[in-house]
Amino acid sequence: MSKKHLYNSLDGLVNKCLRGLITYNPALALDEQNRVVYNTEYDKSTVSIISGGGSGHEPAWSGYVGTNLLAASVAGDVFASPSTRQIMAGMDAVPSDKGTILVVTNYTGDCLHFGLAAQKANAKGQKCKMIICGDDVSLGKNGSLVGRRGLAGQLGVLKVMGGASGAGGSLDQVYDLGMAFSQQIVSMAVTLDHCHVPGRAEHAHSGPDELEIGTGPHNEPGYKKLSPIPSPEDLAKTILKYLVDQSDPLRGYVNFNKGDETIILISNFGGMSFLEIGAFLNELLDQLDEDWGIQPVRVVSGFLETSLNAPAFSVSIVNVTETSKNCSYSADDIKGFFDARTNTHWESMSGSQARRRTRKEQLVQPPPAPRHAIDDATDLKVEPAQLDRMIRTACKNLIEAEPDLTRWDTIMGDGDCGESLKQGATYLLKALDDKVAESGSVGTVLQELEEILEGKMGGTLGGILGIFVVSLRAALADNFAITKEENGIPKLWAKATRVALDNLSQFTPAKVGDRTVMDTLIPFAEGLAANGKFDEGVDAAVAGAEKTKTLKPRLGRATYVGAGQDANQEMPPDPGAWGAMVVIKALQAGL
């Protein structure tokens, strides 16, 4: 895959894309600060459907905002989930009298941020439900904690839900339809080569006579490599066996019976020609009919959910008949919702341009959200120069570690961990330069970090650290009375860290040994609590991060790539765990 790009940096690229995209539909508006595209003509008497995820998958999801589809979409950085605050802004942009449904693909960062947004909305009395779509069959039913990852089958879920909402369905009816439809999808992707991310030095490659099946849309390595490259006929046969063979104990997720009505969706990842995709679709349809007795009643093929310019595609098959047995709608109703006309990319990238709005009218600049005042009576204070030195050292060390973190994450995942941490550190350094630590207020610094994690970082690690920091700041204030005890401040930090981790456990099942950032955070908290000594916590964090070199991944994207299965294969440390360790050691050095 070529490394040539018009834009050789990701700086500002997502926002520029969104500014350009909204012009095809004059009903769209862009909250650029939060990267929310929304339909200004949305009918608030219908159920509001919102989706989103990392950028680089265009037209997903901003290209599907419009009549009978999404009310709004929320975009993160390239291959990284949007933040909780962005999602809340999306919900605020399209309020509904009936309620809101958030629909995301099954990736940890998306589940964390959208899940937290749903919780916050319900806590405020808003009616909000959430659907997590996992349709990939490549991993199989092997006891993974994360379940099936999401591929382009989710677009079919959004399409029927949008049609049902437009037809006046209730919150429960639309939600039940989405759940039923999402559970009747099987998908698998094929990659001829990996995409190249603008501005990124690391670049995965496939061999010259090799393709991969079971790949994800974030440049993850595939479930299996095939070399030499099989013929299109043999490749189609292999894919369909994974998808529809009910005798497969690992992948028989959906039953297909004679006479069942089905839908097939082919998603071009961005780098396949129409010529080849059209020919391969023809082969798939022939074999479905001849070998499996399946004749889809609807066929969709195109750029549904891309992976930048990757020469790759995914195949999804949905059983409409079985869907109808698990919701209040008939198969004919569901087909009608699927056929409902929209003014989005689903119909045409050109859209209706009969009535245009100026770009200024479409670009929205909401006022910044007000900050909560820090209660001086329960705010931990540190000597300002020391606080600045500790945080600044941590930020600088994290920035220096970025190349290694990116390289390791490219091997095990999608390569965004190092860049996300560097971005957060850069923002925090700027805040230090703007005197955020000049009063010595730990609460103020943590609030600033919370703002960065929730509003600017995104991604799985941003979600985890965001929840941790929010909980830590609250726990420090709630338990401030501990400071009056002997050795009070170390006890306070030990208590607050433990409370923050307990709260974080509500959002992630990760434990020590799963090869995640928790392999650093949990030992740090336990070491800190043992004798109230920071050094013991640091030693435990270092040991935990080092141990990830020997652990098999049990959570996150690395679980999909078979990493760690070869006992003789040398693995890098988990980049999230290592990044957290770098910060903790730097805080110690700053002391």
Binding residues for substrate: 54-57, 110
Closest CA to 336 of 103, 152, 167, 168: 167
CA 210/CA 414 separation, integer angstroms:
20
H helix or E strand, kind and range, residue 52 = strand 48-55
Cβ count near 536 (within 10 Å): 17
Residue 258 DSSP class: T
Name the catalytic one among 113, 194, 218, 345.
218
Distance CA 224, CA 151 (A): 17
**Is there a contact between 222 and 213 (Cβ–Cβ < 8 Å)?**
yes
| 405 and 342 Cβ atoms separated by less than 8 Å | no
- Count CB atoms within 10 A of the CB of residue 257: 11
Binding-site residues, in ranges, read 54-57, 110
Instruction: Give the span between the Cα atoms of 113 and 122, in whole angstroms.
Output: 14
Instruction: Look at residue 105 and give its three-state secondary structure.
Output: strand
Question: How are beta strands 128-133 and 298-302 bridged, if at all?
Answer: unpaired
Number of residues assigned to the chain:
591
- Give Cβ neighbours of residue 296 (< 8 Å, ≥ 6 apart): 262, 263, 264, 285, 288, 317
- For 157, the 3-state DSSP assignment is helix
The amino acid that residue 121 corresponds to is: A
Which position has the token pair 């103020």? Answer: 444
Here the tokens at position 203 are: 């670049």
- Structural tokens at position 381: 């204070």
218 carries an active-site annotation: yes
Peptide bond into 249 cis (omega under 30): no
Q: Which two tokens stand for residue 512?
A: 């020590």
How many C-beta atoms surround the C-beta of residue 249 within 10 A? 8
Output the furthest CA–CA distance in the chain (Å, rounded).
79
Which residue, chain included where needed, has tokens 């839900």?
A: 161
Amino acid making up residue 291: D
Residue 333: C-alpha distances to residues 49, 327, 328, 336, 568 (Å)? 19, 11, 10, 5, 54
Phi, psi torsion values for 104, nearest 5 degrees: -135, 160
Query: Tell me, what amino acid is at 542?
Result: V
Q: Phi/psi of residue 505, each to 5°?
A: -65, -15
Catalytic residues: 218
